[in-house]
């Protein structure tokens, strides 16, 4: 007589990725809409060469400031360049600046915030005062100062936006890490003689990922707006690189009455990208926060 032994490992009660995704879409319709916008912009930027109907930097002086038509769906700018193509390639610029600034700034703030909470004492106090000084300046003002020092260009714009984001993430992460510092498993790690950096990176950082992910999502939208502002002021991305803020600079004032599409369509692209990121970030916060998860 054979006896069947129950194997608890064979019964996996954890929901699958597909079921989690469906539950997210059902409970967070606005977040799903925001995620769809973000994915559309991401796919547009990644496959810009295949999607753009024209070369975004090619001038056609015979077709300057043409209104939207079958040849140019969104019209042309003051140099005869196709606006649709430039907006498509501008999505790539916005993604590069937004994601790079958010990831580098957020990751740096994550490590510094957790380290500050764990070490405490004088080092924590000094780090917080430095963060207070940096956060005393609005993001765009500090970015302008940094760009004026390092110069313009995509890489320098990323640096200029990344630095103001670091203390903003560090302050939020530190508040969560202060609670985790007192839990028993951190005390056990200290008793086992683990180094401070091992405790920080392996035992504390993974437990503050929820606020970190929410902050990084918000940073992407802030970085896109900051890049557009810097480019509009002439201190960000420079010609001939397609960028939404740079397109606004070229047509927002001079052609507002004669060719308003030069400024309208890049502005709509900026609005939709930031709206999608903010909607998805709010839904992600509600999903990761246990206090709001079941509401």
Confidence of residue 250 (pLDDT cuts 50, 70, 90): low
Domain locations in the chain as residue ranges: 74-288
CATH code of the region 74-288? 1.10.3720.10
Q: What is the pTM of this model?
A: 0.85
| Spatial separation of the C-alpha atoms in residues 53 and 70, rounded to whole Å | 12
Buried b (16+ CB within 10 A) or exposed e, 173-187: bbebbbebbeeeebe
**What was the pLDDT predicted at 179?**
86
- The 10s digit of each residue's pLDDT in 44-57 is 999 999 999 999 98
Span 104-113, average pLDDT: 93
**Contact yes or no for 61/80 (Cβ under 8 A):** yes
Looking at the chain, the whole-number percentage of residues with pLDDT higher than 70 is 91
Please state the separation of Cα 48 from the chain's center in Å.
Answer: 20
pLDDT exceeds cutoff 90 at 276: yes
**Is the pLDDT higher at 24 or at 113?**
113
Q: What is the DSSP letter of 61?
A: G
**What was the pLDDT predicted at 259?**
86
Contacts of 255 (CB under 8 A, 6+ apart): 65, 78, 262, 263
| Spatial separation of the C-alpha atoms in residues 156 and 132, rounded to whole Å | 23
Please state the separation of Cα 19 from the chain's center in Å.
Answer: 26
Span 15-43, average pLDDT: 86
Span 1-20, average pLDDT: 57
Contacts of 102 (CB under 8 A, 6+ apart): 165, 216, 217, 219, 220, 222, 223
**Contact yes or no for 105/165 (Cβ under 8 A):** yes
**Contact yes or no for 186/180 (Cβ under 8 A):** yes
């Amino acid at each position: 007589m054979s006896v069947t032994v129950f194997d608890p490992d064979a019964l996996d009660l954890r929901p699958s990725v597909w079921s989690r995704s469906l539950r997210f879409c059902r409970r967070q319709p606005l977040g799903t809409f925001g995620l769809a916008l973000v994915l559309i912009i991401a796919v547009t930027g990644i496959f810009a060469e295949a999607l753009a109907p024209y070369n975004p930097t090619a001038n056609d002086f015979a077709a300057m400031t043409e209104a939207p038509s079958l040849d140019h769906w969104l019209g042309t700018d003051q140099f005869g360049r196709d606006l649709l193509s430039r907006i498509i390639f501008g999505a790539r610029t916005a993604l590069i600046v937004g994601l790079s600034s958010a990831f580098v700034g957020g990751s740096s703030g994550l490590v510094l915030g957790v380290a500050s909470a764990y070490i405490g004492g004088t080092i924590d106090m000094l780090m917080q005062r430095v963060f207070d000084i940096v956060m005393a300046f609005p993001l765009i003002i500090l970015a302008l100062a940094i760009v004026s020092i390092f110069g313009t260009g995509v890489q320098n714009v990323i640096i200029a936006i990344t630095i103001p984001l670091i203390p903003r993430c560090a302050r939020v992460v530190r508040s969560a890490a202060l609670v985790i510092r007192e839990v028993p498993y951190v005390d056990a790690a200290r008793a086992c003689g683990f180094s401070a950096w091992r405790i920080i990176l392996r035992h504390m950082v993974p437990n503050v990922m929820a606020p970190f992910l929410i902050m990084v999502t918000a940073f992407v939208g802030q970085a896109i707006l900051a890049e557009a502002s810097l480019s509009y002021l002439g201190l960000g991305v420079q010609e001939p690189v397609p960028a939404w803020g740079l397109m606004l600079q070229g047509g927002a004032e001079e052609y507002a009455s004669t060719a308003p599409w030069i400024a309208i369509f890049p502005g709509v692209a900026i609005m939709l990208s930031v709206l999608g990121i903010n909607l998805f970030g709010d839904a992600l916060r509600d999903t990761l926060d246990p206090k709001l998860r079941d509401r």
